[in-house]
Structure 1
Amino acid sequence: MNLNLDGKTAIVTGGSKGIGKGIARSLAGEGCNLSICARHIDELEETAEELEKLGVQVLVVEADLTKETDIQNVVNRTVDKFGTIDILVNNAGTVGEPGTIEEVSVQEWRDLFELNLFAVVSITKKVLPVMLKQNWGRIINISSENGTQPYPDMIHYSASKGALDNFSKGLSKQYAEQGILVNTVSPAFIETPLVDEMMQQAAEEQGITKEEAVKQFLSNKRPNIELGRPGKIEEVGPIVAFLASDKASFINGSDYRVDGGSVASI
């Protein structure tokens, strides 16, 4: 499907690896110029080289999105290079250390919300004036199954994603008449470098293979993933690219689950 995104400009936060990199690749494949930001410049530059082979321009911006000055720098440099911002994909986030309410400190809650929610609010506030000038924009927030189906050992992460879902829905009601649509994509147990690391650690702790650790996790923690496997990075990006296009011009305030059925509710 031709999504007619040639020449559009997209910011993808956390775009150097994992799901963010996959999203950037899908957008680049549709002709989007990209501004990708993350904390590690070497990873950004390596990803940019890969994306540029798809025939698009790529700007890399080293940024810590918990810092207002870094967020402003991302927006300023993107506009300076490309003239505008058409698409904002808020992908950067953190899971934090697992733990129950008794085990996770209030400061850990604050630190996690700072990136998972407040950084999204901040960069969105800075991008909106650019989109309003052109009466067109797409904001796609990357949430998680946890936002709908919280887990007790990830209570702070789940709460932050629930807040992000709520923010996305509220924002979708504010600017639709000005051509700015807001949607959410919620993956679950995607085979990212972070998940691979977690599965490898679990395997080593129990003296089993990583494949056995994955099967154990699916059985014990994610029994509703009927496909019986983790999702793949390349299974997330195409949904984001679709929502960024005019093919999705009547989709607003929706949450698209890419979770293999993990969320048990309707």
Structure 2
Amino acid sequence: MNLELKNKTALVTGGSKGIGRAIAIALAEEGANVIICAREAVALNEAAMDIEKIGGSVLAVPADLTKQADVDNLVSLAIKRYKTIDILVNNAGVVNRFDDFHSLEIEDWQKLFEVNLFGSVRVTKAVIPYMKKVKYGRIINISSESAEQPDAFIPHYNASKAALNNFTKSLSKAYAADGILVNTVSPAFIMTPMLENLLKGNAEKLNISYDEAIQQFLKKNRPHVEVKRPGTVEEVASAVVYLASNKASFINGVYLRVDGGSVASL
């Protein structure tokens, strides 16, 4: 299928590792120019080299999305290099503490929201004028099943992703007439480096195999993942690339789960 992304320009935040890196590579494979940003320069440059190896055009910009000056510099450099931004993937996100409500301080909530919600708000606000100018744009926000089916712990993370979903819906109504479509992709139990390290640690701690650690985690923490395996970052990237394409030109304001059935409700 020709997704008609050749020579489109995509900005992927948090593009140095995991899901963001996979999204950036998948977009480059479809012929899009890619801008990636992250706070850690070494991992960012490694991701850029991976994109260049497959013949992709890439601009890597170190940026802290909690700082308006960094966001302004990121978008300015992207426009200087590629003239416009057709696709924005708001992927950057953090979990600063894996704790219950009582253990979290207000500062923990504020720091997390600064990245997970306000980082996306800052970048989107900077990019939309360029999309409006050409009457075309695709914005995909990367959320989580925790927004819709939250656990008892990390309530600050759960709430930040729920807010991001609401933000998506508002934008989808506000800018559709300008040719800008806004959607959410919601992954669950994806084999990112962080999850892999967690599962390997569990296996070592419990003196069981890695595969047994995966199945034990699934049974205890994600019983509704009906496919009984972790998802891959490439499976998330495929959904994002489709929504970024002209093949999804009548899809707007949706919440697309890539979760193997993990969310139990309709």
TM above 0.5, yes or no, is yes
2:13 matches 1:2: no
Aligned residue runs from structure 1 range 79-158, under 5 A: 79-158=79-158
Q: After TM superposition, where is structure 1 displaced by more than 6 Å over at least 4 residues in a row?
A: none
Q: Is the 8 A contact 1:99 1:152 kept in 2?
A: no
TM-score, with length taken from structure 1: 0.97
Gaps of 5+ in 1: none
Instruction: Give the SS at the match of 2:132.
Output: helix
- Which letter maps to 2:133? K
TM-score, with length taken from structure 2: 0.97
Instruction: Report deviation, 1:100.
Output: 1.6
Instruction: Report deviation, 1:65.
Output: 1.1
Q: Percent identity?
A: 55
Q: Distance in 2 between matches of 1:210 and 1:39?
A: 31
Q: Is the 8 A contact 1:6 1:32 kept in 2?
A: yes
Instruction: Report deviation, 1:49.
Output: 1.4
Instruction: Report deviation, 1:45.
Output: 1.4
Equivalence for 2:23: 23
Instruction: Give the SS at the match of 1:175.
Output: helix
Equivalence for 2:247: 247
CA deviations over 1:127-150 (Å, ceiling 9, x no partner): 011111000000000000011111
Q: Distance in 1 between matches of 2:252 and 2:157?
A: 25
Instruction: Report deviation, 1:55.
Output: 2.3
2:57 matches 1:62: no
RMSD: 1.0
Equivalence for 1:48: 48
Instruction: Report deviation, 1:42.
Output: 1.5
Q: Distance in 1 between matches of 2:207 and 2:164?
A: 37
CA deviations over 1:83-124 (Å, ceiling 9, x no partner): 110000000001232222111111111111110000000110
Instruction: Give the SS at the match of 2:224.
Output: coil
Q: Distance in 2 between matches of 1:251 and 1:112?
A: 30
Q: Distance in 2 between matches of 1:201 and 1:88?
A: 35
Instruction: Report deviation, 1:43.
Output: 1.2
2:188 matches 1:197: no
- Which letter maps to 1:159? A
- Which letter maps to 2:70? D
Q: Distance in 1 between matches of 2:200 and 2:109?
A: 26
Equivalence for 1:226: 226
